Structure formats: C-alpha cells, structure tokens
Structure 1
C-alpha cells in the first residue's frame, strides 16, 4: 500500500482551497502555482462537501452486544442532510426540541469517484478516496419518540466531519476513541465492524449512485452518551487525527 496522505479543505483570508498536509504545513493544490502555508495560518474546514451523507446503524459487534441486539444480516442505513455538516472546531448546537442529544464517534468513508451497481467488493473498494472522522450527533429522545430516525439525525450541526481525509489507509484495525471533556467515553477498533467499508460501498451503491465527495458514516462503537452545553467532544481515529467540536445550546 502507498504511503498514507492527508488531504484537507482549508480557509485562508476568505479563500477556500484543498490542500495536502505535509508536517506542519499545508500545500495548496487548488491553483496552478502551488503554495505552502503554515497549518497554524489556515482554518481546517469539513474536508469534503458531499451530495449526501449515509449513516449506518448497529455496525459494531461490541455495540450490538452492549445493546443485547442480534447482529444484522445486512446494513441498516439512513440519510443525514448536508445542511447538518460542520467541520473541526465548529459548534454543535443543542436544539430546544430535544433534551437528550448524544455523541456517536465514527469512521467515515469518503467516495472518490462515481459508482453505481459495482460487480465486486474490489470495484467498490476502488471508489474509496479515503477515510476521516465523523460524529453522528443524534437526538435520542426524538429517535425513540418518532420511531424512525430522520428528525433525530438531521438538525443543523449534527454532522461534524474531519479534520482531514487520509488516503492509502488500511481501515481494518484502527483505534477509534471518543472523549468528552477529556474523559474517554468510547474506545474500540474498526476490527469490530460488522460490515467493512468496501461492503458498505458495495451495498449502498447498489441502491443509489455514490458521487465524489459523498460520505458513508460506518457506525458507532459502545459508549454513546449525552452532550451538554459547554462540553468539548473529540473523536480520534489512528492514522487520521482528532475531530474536536464544542457544544452549546441553540438560543
């Protein structure tokens, strides 16, 4: 496998650009004349702006065991709107409609090329650009109340993504950890995934066309819990980095 490469989307002086992370510098690759900037002089944004965000429910064996639920026979998928997307260091806003908003740290797959109805897992895997961190923010009380997931998953700011997309990363055994105010609340490995990234791409792209930049959130491990105003929540995945967000009540 090639050397892992970190790609990001950045803002500097009101200009947004894609760049490659090289140590503590960012190489701007969006212009013919390549320029480097110190990482501290740019603002990382959500590393992609997808046409859709597809979530996967109950996709960790240890989470299924925690909930005493049977292992699903096929992926359980749902959609989150792009209007929910935020980037690293952005604020998660707690809506007044919910009294129980939860974090869910996840590995996200980012699609690199259009794919529809692949004939093999290998073809599906070839459509993956790379991987990043995701936090599937969920209004748990509304999820229970509604009996389906759309409202609970769809409030603005409920889809933090970032900080970077890592290419050429083996996703089969990555440590995934969520911290709330510095305390570890989720700690697992992607080896616990029931359906692996290529399987998810295959399954989902046989339902809908996946486009470059689209995101598949692969599910959360055990330990989900509530967020409160003033909290700091971090999702860290080995080989990718830390997605940090702050929490405040929507006024």
Structure 2
C-alpha cells in the first residue's frame, strides 16, 4: 500500500486538512504552504487516548520489572493534546517532567469485539507521539496516572497521520537538544499494534480518530525549560517540541502538592539517581 500523509494545520486562520507532498502541504482548494512554515495542530481529534504501560523489552529490563500476562493501560484526557513544534508546559513549582517517545495508533473505523487478525482493518494509520509524564504527582495519583500523564500539553502528536505504514521492524529514537536519548525498535514490543487495538476493543468501543499509545523504549529522563525534544520514527517523521515553564505555580490551597519521594526520583532519573541500590518501580 502506498504511504499517504495528512496533517491538520491553521491556514489563513482556519483549521484545514492538508496532504503532504514533498516539502509542501496542499489543501483541497489548492492552497499550499511549506512544511516548515505551517502552524500545526494535532493530526487527529480523538474522543479518547488510551496508553499501554510497559511494552518494550528494553524498558522492562531498565525498570527491573516483570511483564504481566496481558497489557495494562491508563488514560490521558483529550485536553492534554498538543501538536508538532508547540510548547510543552512544565508547571512552575514542578521539577520532574520526562519524555517518552512513542508511536500512536489512530483508529479509522468503529471497533468493538474484534480479533487481532482483524484489527489492522480498523486502523487508519499512525503518528508520532510523546507521552510526557509529570512525575511530581506520581505519589498522589494512586496509580491512575491522571495528573502525571494527563496534565495540559503532555500529549503532543504529529506532525502528520501516515496511512499504509507497516509498524514492523521500525526504529524509534528520542533526541534532546540533538543528543540521542532513546533508541529502540518496534520489534522489541511484547504486544504489537494489532493486539493492543483488539485488547482494548473487547470492552471499550473505539471510534474513528481515537488514539492508542503503544509504549516507549528505555531511557525516559527528565527535561527542563529551554530543552528541545524530538521523537523520530522511521517512516513517520519527526515530532518536535520545546519545554517551557508555566507562569504560575501549582495552587497550594487545594489538593495534594508535588512530591520528591524515592519513587518519584527513581522513575524520573532511572539508573542515574542517588538511590541506585533499590528496586525501581514499574512505570
């Protein structure tokens, strides 16, 4: 199948679907814009974003964890959506914002009670994602990951949605300020894209545009305001974002506050942290 890449951009103040042709983006009415000049939006508008926990073998080894018999998941609210070349906001008063380069599956047809063998027919395509985690709230989320993974701007996707792409044997890398930090391959995945879709669709109806994040390789680490983070996926392109600090601190008159426990530090800093001797928790 021929690869086809579409994007959603702001063009002359309007939200426009465009098709990539080389280094140009072409709208249905013939207007064009250079890919480097476009103001990007998330390439899809999902009703839900479902994320798998551990999946890549290198990440399992790094976390000194044992995979369960079947995948486990968490949910990112759609308000966390962000786009290519946009800012990822670390709230003032927080320290432990980590990248996680991933591949996002995009549903193309309503899916419910399908087999892994059928799942490919329900996938429209794939895009690059970065499943940022604000680990300052890890102690207070009681396993839900709601604020850790669901805070505003923490789910950039893009730059485009690629149809006809084969996920097998593809390289995925994350770079921070031009330095490679993650370097993995989709063949590391314990559960492939088709399995994940079929598993979720057993009890949750997946609608066109819905997104499933498929996991990250080893070496998720903390980034800071001023850093530029790029996720490269072979055949899907490069998703680029920059980190900024929010203008206001987390309110102190309501709710649990950011913490810096051993679990927070071990998750955020991996094997480089000072409590090197203890068992790292699962993601």
Normalising by structure 1, what TM-score? Answer: 0.94
Alignment check: 8 A CA contact 1:60 1:220 kept? yes
Separation in 2 of the partners of 1:66 and 1:42? 38
Name the structure 1 match of 2:107. Answer: 111
Unaligned runs of 5+ in 1: none
Name the structure 1 match of 2:246. Answer: 250
SS at 1:209 equivalent: coil
Counterpart check, 1:77 vs 2:73: yes
SS at 2:168 equivalent: helix
Name the structure 2 match of 1:19. Answer: 18
Counterpart check, 1:153 vs 2:149: yes
Alignment check: 8 A CA contact 1:61 1:192 kept? yes
Separation in 1 of the partners of 2:64 and 2:24? 46
1:179 pairs with one of 171, 175, 181: 175
Name the structure 2 match of 1:141. Answer: 136
SS at 1:164 equivalent: strand
Separation in 2 of the partners of 1:60 and 1:182? 23
Report the CA distance shift for 1:147/1:156 in structure 2 as closer, same or farther (over 3 A).
same
Name the structure 1 match of 2:116. Answer: 121
**Per-residue deviation, 1:102:** 0.6
Q: Where does 1:1-251 land on structure 2 (aligned, <5 Å)?
A: 2-29=1-28, 33-96=29-92, 98-118=94-114, 120-148=115-143, 149-251=145-247
Separation in 2 of the partners of 1:124 and 1:240? 20
Deviation by residue 1:73-128 (Cα, 9 ceiling, x = unmatched): 1111110011010100100000135321111000110111111111x213211110
Alignment check: 8 A CA contact 1:61 1:71 kept? no
Separation in 2 of the partners of 1:26 and 1:68? 44
SS at 2:182 equivalent: strand
Separation in 2 of the partners of 1:239 and 1:144? 37
Deviation by residue 1:158-183 (Cα, 9 ceiling, x = unmatched): 10110111111110111100001111
**Per-residue deviation, 1:42:** 2.9
**Per-residue deviation, 1:43:** 2.0
**Per-residue deviation, 1:41:** 4.6
Unaligned runs of 5+ in 2: 248-283
Alignment check: 8 A CA contact 1:58 1:72 kept? no
Normalising by structure 2, what TM-score? Answer: 0.83
Report the CA distance shift for 1:199/1:97 in structure 2 as closer, same or farther (over 3 A).
farther
Separation in 2 of the partners of 1:77 and 1:170? 23
Q: How many residues align?
A: 246
**Per-residue deviation, 1:36:** 4.0
Separation in 2 of the partners of 1:97 and 1:50? 30
SS at 2:209 equivalent: coil
Name the structure 1 match of 2:279. Answer: none
